[in-house]
Structure 1
Amino acid sequence: MLSYFKNIFVIIIIVFSIWMLFFDSNSLLIHNELNREIETLEDEKDYYRKEIKKDNKIINELKKEEGLEKFAREEYYMKRENEDIYIIEYQDSLKVEDNE
């Protein structure tokens, strides 16, 4: 066993391997950290692509006259002339402050 460590080439290979695995700027630890960051960024990319598709769908609906009217009625409570609007709120949708 000691004869292996007496060989200079084996010692150099062991030192080089340890150096490359832990201390080098391209070490295994840094490489794993960068891979995790890439996975995180890929997940964010997928999320934002889904959000873009959803927003494009909403924009296409708002480009139509019916979609724009529906949005104005639901979000801003706009109405036509001679038309009454009744807002119905259910008990579970009301914001209630508890002052106890």
Structure 2
Amino acid sequence: MQKIKSIKVPGLLKNFFFVAGGLFLLWIAFLDKTNLMYQYQFQSEVNKLESQKEFFISEIKKTKEEQQELLSSPEKLEKFAREKYFMKKDNEDLFILTPTPPPAK
């Protein structure tokens, strides 16, 4: 009969706590529902939403300033209504001129 060579097992692999810790890390890193890839995607989504939040807060601030400016005088409100919504008085004619786009090359 042939002799089977014995394989030497390193001392760390004999330690129960080392093996259990390694299996735990393997489980958390790859096998769990909230693994590392999911956590990375979740964090990138959070970063994207935080940047959108900053953008919308600045836009709200600009809009509130514009609102205060428009409500401060009737002349500014009339100018805004004429420019943005093309409103006119009853005895006026309104002509809207738009620039022509440059020809495609």
User: TM (normalized to structure 1)?
Assistant: 0.68
The 1:38–1:96 alpha-carbon spacing in structure 2 relative to 1, beyond 3 Å, is closer
In 1, distance between residues paired with 2:94 and 2:53?
A: 42
In 1, distance between residues paired with 2:70 and 2:48?
A: 33
Select 1:42's aligned residue among 29, 42, 50.
Answer: 50
Matching residue's letter, 1:7: N
> Which of the pair has more CA radius of gyration?
2
Aligned residues: 95
In 2, distance between residues paired with 1:9 and 1:85?
A: 83
The 1:85–1:7 alpha-carbon spacing in structure 2 relative to 1, beyond 3 Å, is closer
Q: Does residue 16 in structure 1 map to residue 57 in structure 2?
A: no
In 1, distance between residues paired with 2:80 and 2:36?
A: 53
User: In angstroms, what is the RMSD of aligned CA positions?
Assistant: 3.4
User: TM (normalized to structure 2)?
Assistant: 0.65
In 2, distance between residues paired with 1:84 and 1:34?
A: 56
Select 2:15's aligned residue among 3, 7, 11.
Answer: 7
Tell me the residue number matched to 2:88: 78
Deviations 1:18-71 (A, max 9, x none): 111222234332222211111111111111111111221222222220211211
Tell me the residue number matched to 1:58: 66
Matching residue's letter, 2:88: M
Higher helix residue share: 1
Tell me the residue number matched to 1:69: 78
